[in-house]
Amino acid sequence: RAKSAGRNGYRFFEQEMSVEAKTRMTLEHSLRRALERNEFELHYQPRLDLRGGRVLGMEALIRWNHPQLGRVSPLQFIPIAEERGLIEAIGRWVLREACAQTRRVSERFGLPLRVSVNLSARQLKCHDLREQVTEALDSAGLAPQMLELELTESALIEDMEISAARLGELKKLGIKLSVDDFGTGYSGLAYLQRFPLDVMKLDRSFINQQTDGTRNLHFIKALIDLAHTLDLSVVAEGIETADILQFLKSCRCDEGQGYLFSAPLPIEAFEAYLEQIAVRQATA
- Positions touching ligand C2E (CB under 6 A) are 45, 61-62, 73-75, 78, 94, 118-120, 150, 180-181, 204, 237-240, 257-259, 264
Return the H-helix or E-strand segment holding 176.
strand 176-182
From candidates 30, 102, 118, 120, binder to Mg ion by CB under 5 A: 118
**DSSP track, 93-106:** HHHHHHHHHHHHHH
**Cβ contacts of 166-169, under 8 Å, gap ≥ 24:** 166/124, 166/125, 166/129, 166/130, 167/195, 167/196, 167/197, 168/196, 169/129, 169/130
Query: By Cβ distance, which residue is nearest to ligand C2E?
Result: 258
State which residue, 88 or 180, has the beta carbon closest to Mg ion: 180
Lay out the site mask for Mg ion across 151-180 (x = CB under 5 A, - = otherwise): -----------------------------x
Based on the shown chain and the rule CB under 5 A, indicate whether residue 254 belongs to the binding site for Mg ion: no
Which of Mg ion, ligand C2E, none binds 264 (CB below 5-8 Å, type-dependent)? ligand C2E
**Contacted by 258, from ligand C2E, Mg ion, none: CB < 5 to 8 Å by type:** ligand C2E
> Quick one: 61 or 142, whose CB is closer to ligand C2E?
61
**Which of Mg ion, ligand C2E, none binds 120 (CB below 5-8 Å, type-dependent)?**
ligand C2E
Is the Cβ–Cβ distance between 55 and 253 less than 8 Å? no
Q: Using the rule CB under 5 A, which residue among 88, 181, 254, 255 binds Mg ion?
A: 181
CB 63 within 8 A of CB 76: no
3-state secondary structure of 151: strand
Tally of residues, the chain: 284
Residue nearer to Mg ion on the CB measure, 97 or 181: 181
Q: Kindly tell me which of 30 and 118 has the beta carbon lying closer to Mg ion.
A: 118
Minimum separation from the CB atom of position 222 to ligand C2E (A): 21
Q: Does residue 45 touch Mg ion according to CB under 5 A?
A: no
For residue 118, the minimal CB distance to ligand C2E (Å) is: 4
Shortest gap between Cβ of 61 and ligand C2E (angstroms)? 4
Output 30 or 92, the one with its CB closest to Mg ion: 92
Cβ-contact 251, 221 below 8 angstroms: yes
Interaction partner, residue 144 (Mg ion, ligand C2E, none; CB < 5-8 Å by kind): none
Identify the burial level of 243 via C-beta atoms within 10 angstroms of its C-beta, where 0-12 means exposed, 13-18 middle and 19 or more buried: exposed
Distance CA(52)–CA(62), nearest Å, equals 28
Residue 3 CB, shortest distance to ligand C2E, in Å, is: 40
DSSP character at residue 27: H
Helix, strand and coil content of the chain, in percent to the nearest 5, comes to 55, 20, 25
